[in-house]
Amino acid sequence: MGEPLRKKHIAFTALMWVLAVMMVYPFIMMVAISFRPAGQAYMPLFASGIMTTLRNYEEVLTHPNFFDWYRNTIVTVAVTILIRLVITLLAAYSFSRLRFRGKAAILAFLVATMMVPGETTMVPRYLYFQQIHILNTLWSIVLPETSEVFYLILLTEFFSSIPGDFTEAASIDGAGHGTVLFRIFIPLSGPAIATTVLFSFINIWNNFLDPYLFINRISMQLITPALQFFQEQGGANMPVQMAGSSLALIPVIILFIFTQKYFVQGVASSGIKG
């Protein structure tokens, strides 16, 4: 590399690092302020005389409902992922490997419904869930989430990419479709299943609209809408809000950093194929 080119490359590297810091700067501030006393919330990041305190975390953690929100969120995430995986894996196997009449039309219809945002159907969903008595229960979040077309497409695409020889050998041996799915397809689908679990975790953890709409008992609430509640209740105390936000975000960010590979694979595969 020539001298001017080298300098250019160093400048470029520096620029990328500055941009990277800017991308995470809001979260650095969030964590930094969560350890400050209320009076110092608006002082610069490296100002002198900043004191450190755990009071804000104490206030969040001693909120009578904080552990309810965490527990509700974890239960919702776990139950949704379990049901979602079972019914979506079955359907994906069928759509990718079995021939039946109306298959293409059903799939096309399901994909078309992805266009309708949950925002425009919130009223009928609320009225209907009221009629079937699942408002104010975690079922109002779990049950609608189990049949997400996005994950059906993701797993169907993945199953379609598994070579046919695998299944042919198995059916010659007289294995039924259930056996083929559970003994061959699922063990081969580790990465796709990991992507599904990771995406589901992040999406359900961050879900705001549905729990905000369908749950109005504070002890039944999930962590993200609870943050909004905390904000309205906590008033002006910025550091407490930041401590709450950190506790809501940190698990997801840590999970993401360790499982980034599956995340990138998932986005890339869902993206490229459209």
Partner 1 sequence: MKKSGMMRQEERMGYLFILPFLAMFAIFKLYPMIYGFIVSFWDRNSEMKLLDTTFVGFDNYISVLKSRSFWEAFGHSIVFSVIYIAFLMVFGFLAAVMLNRKFLGRTAVRTCFYIPYVTNMIAVGIVFKYLLNPTRGPVNAIFRLFGASGPKWFSSPVLALPAAAVVAAWAALAFHIITCLAALQEIPQDVYEVADIEGATPLQKIRYIVLPYLMPTLFMLLTITLINSFRNYTAIVGLTGGGPGTSSKVVSLLIYDDAFNFLKFSIASAEGVIFTVFIIIVNRIFTKARSVWENR
Residues 255-274 that bind partner 1 (CB under 8 A): 256-257, 260, 263-264, 267-268, 271-272, 274
Question: Which listed range, 49-57, 67-75, 115-123, 159-167, lies at the site for partner 1 (CB under 8 A)?
Answer: 115-123
Strands (E) located in 30-186: none
Residues in contact with 94: Cβ distance below 8 Å, sequence separation at least 6, in sequence order: 100
**Cβ closest to partner 1, residue 167 vs residue 220:** 167
Q: Which of residues 185-244 bind partner 1 (CB under 8 A)?
A: 202, 205-206, 208-209, 213, 224-225, 227-228, 231, 238, 241-242, 244
Cβ at position 125, least distance to partner 1 in Å: 4
Identify residue 40 by its one-letter amino acid code: Q
Q: Which of residues 46-85 bind partner 1 (CB under 8 A)?
A: none
Member of 5, 51, 105, 115 binding partner 1 (CB under 8 A): 115
The owner of tokens 């169907």 is 156
* Residue 128 binding partner 1, by CB under 8 A: yes
Q: Backbone phi, then psi, for 241, in 5-degree steps? A: -60, -40
**Cβ closest to partner 1, residue 220 vs residue 234:** 234
* Residue 169 binding partner 1, by CB under 8 A: no
Residue 177's SS3 state is helix
The answer to whether 154 touches 195, Cβ cutoff 8 Å, is yes
Cβ at position 220, least distance to partner 1 in Å: 17
Cβ at position 190, least distance to partner 1 in Å: 20
Cβ at position 20, least distance to partner 1 in Å: 4
Sign (positive or negative) of CA dihedral 229, 234, 237, 241 = negative
Question: Which listed range, 58-66, 72-80, 144-152, 160-168, lies at the site for partner 1 (CB under 8 A)?
Answer: 144-152
**Closest among 202, 116, 113, 195 to 155, alpha carbons compared:** 195
Member of 57, 66, 126, 182 binding partner 1 (CB under 8 A): 126
* Residue 166 binding partner 1, by CB under 8 A: no
Residues in contact with 32: Cβ distance below 8 Å, sequence separation at least 6, in sequence order: 45
| Cα–Cα distance for residue pair 29/243, rounded to 1 Å | 11
**Cβ closest to partner 1, residue 86 vs residue 169:** 86
User: What separation in angstroms does the CA of 159 have from each of 32, 39, 75, 179?
Assistant: 45, 56, 29, 15
**Cβ closest to partner 1, residue 78 vs residue 90:** 90
Phi-psi region of 49 (alpha: psi -120 to 50; beta: other; left: phi over 0): left
* Residue 172 binding partner 1, by CB under 8 A: no
Member of 54, 58, 67, 86 binding partner 1 (CB under 8 A): 86
Cβ at position 117, least distance to partner 1 in Å: 5
Count the alpha carbons within 13 Å of 99 in the hemisphere toward its beta carbon: 0
| SS3 per residue for 23-45 | HHHHHHHHHHHHCCCHHHCCCCC
Member of 46, 52, 62, 100 binding partner 1 (CB under 8 A): 100
Member of 79, 85, 152, 192 binding partner 1 (CB under 8 A): 152
